[in-house]
Structure 1
Amino acid sequence: MVSTSFSAVAAATSDERFARMRAETALFMRDHVLSIVSHDLRSPLNAIHSWAYVLERKLDPNDAAAQRALAGIRSGVDQQVKLLEEAVDSTRAETKALPLTRAPFAMRQALDRSLDDVRRALADARGVTIKLDSQLDAEQCDGDRERLSQAIWVMLAFAVEASAPGSSVALASSVESGSWRVDVAYTTSFAALSDAELPHAFDAFSRKQAMLAREAGRIAWVLALPQRVASAHGGMFEQGDTLDGQPSTLSLRVPLVAV
């Protein structure tokens, strides 16, 4: 009876962490998309604003209709900029300046926790094996353990979701040139990402977007959390190409000490 109760508590705790991680992932993805929207809309709005000044010098100041049209263009640009500032930029403030709770922690423990959580919540149910390759033991990193564990969780969960049932994901971690490096390697399966019958950690929209061609340097939206966490630590996050049937790698590197 005692062992059964312990198992039930452990399962409930794991379910709670799984639900929390799904919510955290969705929050960072939302703010990442808003950031892209803000950036990509400002460029054409700035161009429209500049051309409005060019038109002003060309148009007859006595042409009332042309002046009304010009005023309408400027008013529209101003309204769009105000909307970006009030609705978009303010909404993403929660993750734009990500606060960190820094303290020394054992990297291997954080690694093992994320690995165990993803195995229990997703990998076992999908028949995906996660293989760990790491010589880390008691080495420590001065950073936000919870945020870095979340970043690894998202990397592993995405790799599992993008892998065909029965395949394997490779998790490698090491200390390299004063940085903690974590690499997750897998072979992409679009069928696995889109199969509604398989267990999933991420919603259908984010999985569909992850299969689209990406502009150079941009990541899949669902990976916004590890990118933001790496950046807040003064590190880097990279996503390899996502091509159906081809191997890919997710890489996170953060300094061992604050920079």
Structure 2
Amino acid sequence: MSAAACTSDDEHGGADRVAHLRAEAALFMRDHVLSVVSHDLRGPLNAIHSWGYVLERKVDANDPAAQRALAGIRSGVEQQVKLIEQSVDTTRAETKALQVALAPVALRPLLEKSAALARASVARARGVTIEIDSPLAEEQLEGDAERLLQTLWLMLAFAAEASPSGAAVRASSNIEGSMWRTDVRFSASARALGDPASPHVLEAFARRQALEPREGGRIAWGLALCKRVAEAHGGAFEHSDIADNAEVTLSVRVPVAGM
């Protein structure tokens, strides 16, 4: 096989790898949005259901119009709850209870591979550099290497697409006590996130949502994979507010010992 053919195969394989990573991020984002919808719809529906019972005790039992109205309220609530259970909750079942395959994972190679994929998928084309600052060398943890790679890649790729051209994304990684912690820091740019001419990891609506004020400390939808993978390992994921010109930190923590 010629050198040109080998290069073409490598590029094709790399493109397939990035496409798979983007698909995984999109899957977890979809399920996260469905989870938010399920949670946020149940509150108002429960309130309507409760007030229906209050009205039932107040309304004249001999008033047919009022009784039909109450029956309509109860029926509507039941239909909405059934829709949530059958459509929303069932659809997100694939990642609701994420299973991880635990095995020894070398951390330094994981960091380097994630950074290389992030550079190839979005950072290099946008003129953004990714820098790794870590003393890790031979350290390992018990984890799912593929899921952890997806998490690191998404953190780095998102930071790259949210940064203006010429900026640097900095990732620090270390073991603190019993936890492996990786922080990705960057300066966010609303213009960079919204630029349709530049390569992106997330869909346009997810990029717009990332810049919206967070309610109750919720994460940006597009970073849902990071949260689910961290929690499946017994760890946590969080990030500071993402706003134009803000200094943002994405942080993932995973226990070093197996669960």
TM bucket, shorter chain: over 0.9
Per-residue CA deviation, residues 108-139 of structure 1 (Å, 9 max, x unaligned), is 11111110011112111100011110111111
Q: Identity across aligned pairs (percent)?
A: 57
Q: d(CA) in 2 for partners of 1:257 and 1:129? A: 32
Which stretches in structure 2 are left out of the alignment for 5+ residues?
none
- Corresponding position of 2:182: 182
Deviation (angstroms), 1:50: 0.5
Q: d(CA) in 2 for partners of 1:201 and 1:219? A: 17
Structure-2-length-normalised TM-score:
0.98
Give the match's secondary structure for 2:115. Answer: helix
Deviation (angstroms), 1:60: 0.9
- Aligned-partner residue type, residue 198 of structure 1: S
Give the conservation status (yes or no) of the 8 Å contact 2:161–2:192.
yes
- Aligned-partner residue type, residue 147 of structure 1: R
Number of aligned positions between the proteins: 259
Q: d(CA) in 2 for partners of 1:33 and 1:41? A: 12
Q: d(CA) in 2 for partners of 1:119 and 1:3? A: 23
Per-residue CA deviation, residues 36-68 of structure 1 (Å, 9 max, x unaligned), is 000000001000101111111111111111011
- Corresponding position of 1:75: 75
Give the match's secondary structure for 2:91. Answer: coil
Give the match's secondary structure for 1:14. Answer: helix
Q: d(CA) in 2 for partners of 1:7 and 1:140? A: 32
Which stretches in structure 1 are left out of the alignment for 5+ residues?
none
- Corresponding position of 1:249: 249
Deviation (angstroms), 1:161: 0.7
- Corresponding position of 1:34: 34
Q: d(CA) in 1 for partners of 2:14 and 2:173? A: 23
- Corresponding position of 1:21: 21
Q: d(CA) in 1 for partners of 2:231 and 2:57? A: 45
Give the match's secondary structure for 1:99. Answer: coil
- Aligned-partner residue type, residue 112 of structure 2: D
Q: d(CA) in 2 for partners of 1:150 and 1:116? A: 12
Q: CA RMSD of the aligned region, Å?
A: 1.0
